[in-house]
């Protein structure tokens, strides 16, 4: 008898909890809310609200030596399939050295379910923590610049982190340091954005994520 009673009571309490949980979820359920939440996030991360550093690439100065790519791979040991930096070239002779653009509105950070991405308030660097990453691949679709890559062997994502440890120690990123012609430089976006943007040779609309990088095409 008493056992029966206990069973009924526990079931009842389980249901009660279920109802509470269900209601809590149902309140915020309307999927449109998710979209709206996203817009609010976008609004919060105004481009010039905080300090944001970024890359600058001057095509006219670039000799396509790929030192920037080589030093990055040698130091951070990424696989060829998951490049942190690439030197993009086309048959017309155009080039662009690009890594993660540490966007002001990082789409990767927005979609990552496990918060593996953090955007540092001090300089706007977007850092991906591979130890948190579950490897869902959502950020690969979200990023318009193909910056994050999912390693088949490791099962997690990695990308450029702007050599943040070196920056904290007072020096600059390796790719910039090794560039023999200073085609690749870095600086504060409030200065860089006066010189140009990333509306460059087929690249996606910078409005999507507000990338912290400018590319200056060579004079023809």
Partner 1 sequence: MGHWGWLIAIYLFLGGLGAGAYLSSFAAEKGFLGKTTHLNRVGYYVSAPIVAFGALLLITDLGQGLRQPWLIIKMFLNPTSVMTWGIYILTAFIFVAFIKAYFVWKKRPAPEVISYIGAILALGTAAYTGMLLAVVEGVPFWNSYLMPVIFVVSALSTGLSLTSLLAHFFEKRQVHEAKVTQVHLWLVSAEIIAVAAFFALVYSGSQEVAKLSATRLLTGSLALPFWILFVLVGLVGPLTFYVQQSLSHKNTTPSLMKEQSAYHDVDTIQQAQPEAGGRGKSQNILLLCDVAVMVGGLTLRCVIVFAAFPVWSGYLI
3-state secondary structure of 70: helix
Looking only at residues 191 through 220 of this chain, which bind partner 1 when binding is defined by CB under 8 A?
Answer: 200-205, 208-209
Q: Do the beta carbons of residue 186 and residue 56 sit within 8 Å?
A: yes
| Of 126, 147, 107, 125, residue with least CA distance to 53 | 125
Residue of 175, 166, 111, 169 lying closest to 140 (CA atoms) = 111
Position among 57, 78, 145, 186 found at the interface with partner 1 (CB under 8 A): 145
Applying CB under 8 A, among 6, 9, 10, 23 the residue interacting with partner 1 is 23
User: Does 146 interact with partner 1 (rule: CB under 8 A)?
Assistant: yes
Find the Cα–Cα–Cα–Cα dihedral 76, 53, 49, 121, rounded to 10°.
40
Asked if 35 interacts with partner 1 (CB under 8 A), we say yes
Cα–Cα distance, 184 to 106 (Å, whole number): 22
Regarding 13 and contact with partner 1 (CB under 8 A), the answer is: no
How far apart are CB 186 and partner 1 at their closest, in Å?
A: 21
147 binds partner 1 (CB under 8 A): no
Extract the tokens encoding 156: 């997690």
Q: CA 6, 18, 111 angle in degrees (round to 5)? A: 150
Question: Tokens 């308030």 map to which residue?
Answer: 121
Q: Does 94 bind partner 1 (CB under 8 A)?
A: yes
Cβ 194 to partner 1 shortest distance, Å: 24
Question: CA–CA separation, 217 vs 220, rounded Å?
Answer: 9
- Residue 143 interacting with partner 1 (CB under 8 A): yes
Looking up tokens 């100065």, which residue turns up? 61
Choices 1-9, 17-25, 167-175, 186-194; region in contact with partner 1 by CB under 8 A: 17-25
Site for partner 1 contains 60 (CB under 8 A) = no
Complex with partner 1: residue 63 or 88, whichever CB lies closer: 88
d(CA 123, CA 116): 18
Q: In the set 66, 70, 76, 135, which binds partner 1 (CB under 8 A)? A: 135
Whether the Cβ atoms of residue 162 and residue 187 lie closer than 8 Å to each other: no
Q: Is 189 in the site for partner 1 (CB under 8 A)?
A: no
To partner 1, the closest distance from the beta carbon of 98 in angstroms equals 10
Q: Which residues bind partner 1 (CB under 8 A)?
A: 14-15, 18-19, 21-23, 25-26, 29, 31, 34-35, 37-38, 41, 88-90, 94-96, 107, 110-115, 132-138, 140-146, 150-151, 154-157, 200-205, 208-209
């Amino acid at each position: 008898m008493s056992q029966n009673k206990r069973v009924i009571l526990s079931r009842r309490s389980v249901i009660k909890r279920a109802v509470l949980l269900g209601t809590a979820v149902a309140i915020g359920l309307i999927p449109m809310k998710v979209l709206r939440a996203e817009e609010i996030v976008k609004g919060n991360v105004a481009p010039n609200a905080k300090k944001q550093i970024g890359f600058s690439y001057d095509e006219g100065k670039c000799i396509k030596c790929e030192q920037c790519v080589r030093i990055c791979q040698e130091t951070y040991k990424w696989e060829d399939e998951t490049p942190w930096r690439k030197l993009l070239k086309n048959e017309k002779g155009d080039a662009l050295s690009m890594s993660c653009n540490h966007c002001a509105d990082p789409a990767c950070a927005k979609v990552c379910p496990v918060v593996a991405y953090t955007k540092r308030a001090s300089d706007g660097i977007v850092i991906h923590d591979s130890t948190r990453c579950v490897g869902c691949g959502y950020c690969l679709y979200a990023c318009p610049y193909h910056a994050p890559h999912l390693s088949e062997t490791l099962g997690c994502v990695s990308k450029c982190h702007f050599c943040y440890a070196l920056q904290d120690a007072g020096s600059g990123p390796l790719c910039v340091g090794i560039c023999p012609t200073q085609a690749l430089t870095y600086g504060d976006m409030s200065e860089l954005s006066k010189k140009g943007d990333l509306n460059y040779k087929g690249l996606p609309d910078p409005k999507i994520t507000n990338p912290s990088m400018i590319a200056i095409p060579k004079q023809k």
